[in-house]
């Protein structure tokens, strides 16, 4: 309509600029409308929204879920799997992040930076109790320059902490005792297990090596001065020391240190949704329960996609169980081979 009036005015002798001004548009707008083939005034026209755009109620549901007391300290990567475990689907992980960002509620959690790994010998774990990694870290005591020593053993397949202790010293004898207790508790057979560690004294002490030989455990060591050759233990120590609630002040006593570590181990094994194993707990993975948990999540997502197809532009999230886990493979730090995606 406006373009028709403009053409009539110009045909009657009016200038384009003056006619446009009278009609309430600019010459640039007129030029654009002609280029786009627009035949009428599009100002104020109703614009369409993407079919999968969240409604205000759906957006509020995302915020309400993130505000639940049990989710308050969790990231969307952890919230979404937990909701699926409860037969709830509210939105995808990326949608949670987007809505929280738009609401100004995203905050960086943790200060550690990702590390690049290298490899000594390669080892692969396709089931629990095939490859363990262990190391020792310091915990501060009330006396300056004196530390408590935390020994930790982690199963690289399940990420379960299979052994720990806090002591007053680093010792091959104490380490050997810890390994004996862990292998007995996990019913490890001879020639079943590889135990990887760095090149520290307790790791290569004669008592420790004799114990491993007696148990039929194969020792494996990092290269000298290369901590990245033991990435599972290094990552575990970062998780421990950046865990909310980790004391900023020294532990008052060794008993206090042991009590805190016992609580951390219980949380890590039985509550922590580990990102490397599709956000199931290490204990669930260790016991083989991850397959059923992930199958349930997959069913929840399929039902949600069937109910709200507009919310998906592709396939549902991959909830297939993680397969074999490699320690120090030839070309990359940690390589996880997914099991064939279930139909």
**Pair (201, 87) in one structural domain:** no
Q: Which domain holds residue 129?
A: 123-277
- Domain of 246: which CATH number? 3.30.420.10
Residue pLDDT tens, the chain, 343 long:
677 776 777 777 777 777 777 777 788 777 877 776 665 555 555 555 666 688 899 999 999 998 998 888 888 888 999 999 999 999 998 899 999 888 888 765 444 454 554 456 788 999 999 999 999 999 999 999 999 999 999 999 999 999 999 999 999 999 999 999 999 999 999 999 999 998 777 888 888 999 999 999 999 888 765 656 788 999 999 999 999 889 999 999 999 999 999 999 999 999 999 999 999 999 999 999 999 999 999 999 999 999 999 988 889 999 999 999 998 776 543 444 444 444 4
60 and 32 housed in the same domain: no
Q: Which residues contact 158 (CB under 8 A, 6 or more apart)?
A: 128, 277, 282, 283, 285, 286
- CA distance linking residue 44 with residue 46, whole number of Å: 6
The pLDDT of residue 110 is: 41
Is residue 286 one of the residues assigned to a domain?
A: no
Q: Is 299 inside any structural domain?
A: no
266 in the same domain as 139: yes
- Is residue 139 domain-shared with residue 231, that is, in the same domain? yes
Residues 199 and 80 in one domain: no
In a domain, 251, yes or no: yes
Residue holding tokens 């969307």? 76
User: Looking at the domain assignment, is residue 14 inside a domain?
Assistant: yes
SS3 46: coil
In this structure, are 73 and 190 located in the same domain?
Answer: no
Cβ atoms of residues 300 and 307 within 8 Å: no
Residue 88 is classified by DSSP as -
298 in a structural domain = no
Distances (CA, A) of 208 to 86, 188, 195, 202, 274: 45, 17, 11, 7, 30
pLDDT at 137 (0 to 100)? 94
Do 127 and 25 share a structural domain? no
Give strand pairing partners of 151: 136, 165
**CB distance 93 to 77 below 8 Å:** yes
- For residue 196, count CB atoms less than 10 angstroms from its CB and return exposed for 0-12, middle for 13-18, buried for 19 or more: buried
Looking at the structure, tell me whether residues 168 and 209 fall in a common domain: yes
15-31: string of b/e by CB count within 10 Å (b at 16+)? eeeebbeebebeeebbe
For the record, the structure tokens of 96 come out as 């949670």
Give, to the nearest 10 degrees, the angle between helix 76-85 and helix 290-307: 90
127 and 273 inside one domain: yes
Residue 261 counted as domain residue = yes
Distance CA 24, CA 318 (A): 54
| Residue 218, in any domain of the structure | yes
Tally of domains in the chain: 3
Is 322 a domain residue? no
For 262-274, the DSSP string reads HHHHHHHHHT--B
Residues 98 and 241 reside in one and the same domain = no
Distance CA 196, CA 230 (A): 7
Domain boundary, last residue among 277, 298, 325: 277
Do 271 and 127 share a structural domain? yes
CA terminus-to-terminus distance, the chain: 56
Please tell me whether residues 65 and 207 are part of one structural domain.
no
DSSP state of 286: H
């Amino acid at each position: 309509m406006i373009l028709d009036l403009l053409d009539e005015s110009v045909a009657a002798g009016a200038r384009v600029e003056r006619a446009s001004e009278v009609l309430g548009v600019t010459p640039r707008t007129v030029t654009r409308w002609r280029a786009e083939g627009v035949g009428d005034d599009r100002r104020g026209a109703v614009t369409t929204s993407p079919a999968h755009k969240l409604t205000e109620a759906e957006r509020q549901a995302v915020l309400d879920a993130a505000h639940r007391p049990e989710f308050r300290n969790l990231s969307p990567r952890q919230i979404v799997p937990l909701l699926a475990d409860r037969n709830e689907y509210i939105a995808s992980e990326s949608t949670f992040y987007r809505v929280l960002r738009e609401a100004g509620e995203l905050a960086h959690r943790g200060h550690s930076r990702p590390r690049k790994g290298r490899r000594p010998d390669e080892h692969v774990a396709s089931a629990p109790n095939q490859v363990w990694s262990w190391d020792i870290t310091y915990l501060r005591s009330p006396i300056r320059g004196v530390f408590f020593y935390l020994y930790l053993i982690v199963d690289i397949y399940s990420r379960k902490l299979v052994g720990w202790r806090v002591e007053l010293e680093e010792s091959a004898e104490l380490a050997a005792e810890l390994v004996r207790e862990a292998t007995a508790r996990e019913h490890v057979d001879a020639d079943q297990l590889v135990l990887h560690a760095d090149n520290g004294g307790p790791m290569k002490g004669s008592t420790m090596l004799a114990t491993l030989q007696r148990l039929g455990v194969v020792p494996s060591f990092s290269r000298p001065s290369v901590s990245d050759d033991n990435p599972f233990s290094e990552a575990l120590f970062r998780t421990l020391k950046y865990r909310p609630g980790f004391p900023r002040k020294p532990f008052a006593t060794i008993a206090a240190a042991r009590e805190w570590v016992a609580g951390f181990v219980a949380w890590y094994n039985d509550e922590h949704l580990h990102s490397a194993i599709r956000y199931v707990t290490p204990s669930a993975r260790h016991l083989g329960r991850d397959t059923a948990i992930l199958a349930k999540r997959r069913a929840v997502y399929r039902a949600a996609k069937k109910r709200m197809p507009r919310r998906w532009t592709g396939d549902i999230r991959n909830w297939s169980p993680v397969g074999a886990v490699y320690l120090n493979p030839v070309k990359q730090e940690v390589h996880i081979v997914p099991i064939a995606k279930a139909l």
